[in-house]
Structure 1
Amino acid sequence: MAKKTPAAPTTAATAALDRAGISFAVHGYEHDAKVTGYGAEAAQKLSIEAARVFKTLMVATDAPGGFGIGIVPVDAMLDLKALAAALGGKKAELADPKTAERKSGYVVGGISPIGQRTPLPTVLDASAQAFETILVSGGRRGFDLELAPADLLAVTGGKLAGIRRT
């Protein structure tokens, strides 16, 4: 897997990966403005199995810090209770989209777990371990990054836990 090519856009996510010396590949596609299922659109347009394409979801929680990030496959739903427990709390709910955009520095549908404006505790679903590489948003709609799950955890300071519902 090569590092980003010069033609690839520079986002806070790609800059963070470059600073960390982490190898990644970029995948771009034409985003359809009418589509709101961003992750499913990425999997379909990139012809990559949905279980390898992960979505980034911000939650408000009763855990210390009040917010966290859950990263799950686009073909699954986030188990809010499991994520809350992984973050050290008892309950969680999806964060308001405006709050998610403000805290992450990204627009909804392009929120990357990497290079967020406000670094938050991050949990990657354990299913990611089944793949050599996974895809996550690169910081804008129509732009994904491919990297090893271990590298994603390293750059985000995240941890693995079973946080998905199928």
Structure 2
Amino acid sequence: MAKNKEEKTNVMRVLEQKKIAYTAHTYPHEEGVAVDGVTVAKSMGFDPAIVFKTLVARGASKQYYVFDVPVAENLDLKKAAKAVGEKSIEMIHQKELLPLTGYVHGGCSPVGMKKLFPTVFHETAENLETMIVSAGKIGYQVELAPHDLAALVRAKFADIIVE
């Protein structure tokens, strides 16, 4: 398949503007159809443990939070609430995602949201050489150093997945 011009997403433009090294990856997809993260990881030839999904939740205080966890894992709402100092948190409804973040379900990235929300990466990311997150569009991912990404979005690392 010949590529005439690599499509750049907003996430890629932000990373370039901030001079953060990344590698772009694509995976086959149907337009507008979100694919589960494990399928995405395998279709790109990566271990699902280094491919992270971005989840958005709302705390009891009505503050929004962003959590990135490996695609094969599930967010533990109690641990996530503790990590951000909330009494409780709940996932936002899918219809709220686009107006709040600027991203669609299946293409949500911690980079380039309309607003910078408090962000937490699962602690396994801290020890990875690179991690992969959505490039802000279904079919596109970016691979980069976890600490570069964490510095950009001011994320912290914590145990936030279901055991």
**TM-score, with length taken from structure 1:** 0.89
Q: Deviations over 1:15-54 (max 9, x none)?
A: 2111211000000011146965431221011010101100
**Does the 8 A contact of 2:32 with 2:138 survive in 1?**
no
* 1:139 counterpart (136, 139, 145): 136
Contact 1:57 1:70 in 2 (8 A): yes
Whole-Å separation in 2 of the counterparts to 1:33 and 1:16: 24
Aligned match of 2:149 in 137, 152, 162?
A: 152
Q: Measure, in 1, the Cα distance between the counterparts of 2:58 and 2:35.
A: 21
Structure 2: 5+ residue runs without aligned partners? none
Q: 1:102-142: CA deviations, max 9, x gaps?
A: 11101110001101112111000001123100100000111
CA shift in 2, pair 1:16/1:36, >3 Å? closer
Partner of 1:19: 17
Report what 1:97 is aligned to. Answer: 94
- Residue identity in the other structure for 1:98: K
Q: Distance in 2 between matches of 1:98 and 1:111?
A: 13
Q: Distance in 1 between matches of 2:107 and 2:92?
A: 15
Q: Aligned partners of 2:119, 2:5: CA distance in 1, in Å?
A: 29
TM-score, normalized by length of structure 2? 0.91
Aligned length: 160
The within-5 A match list for 1:8-157 is: 8-32=6-30, 36-63=34-61, 66-157=63-154
Change (3 A) 1:107 1:36: closer
Alignment-mate amino acid for residue 17 of structure 2: R
Contact 1:35 1:41 in 2 (8 A): no
Q: Is the 8 A contact 1:134 1:146 kept in 2?
A: yes
Find the aligned partners of 1:41 and 1:34 in 2 and give their Cα distance.
16
> Partners of 1:7 and 1:154 in 2: how far apart?
30
Q: How many angstroms apart in 2 are the aligned matches of 1:83 and 1:8? A: 36
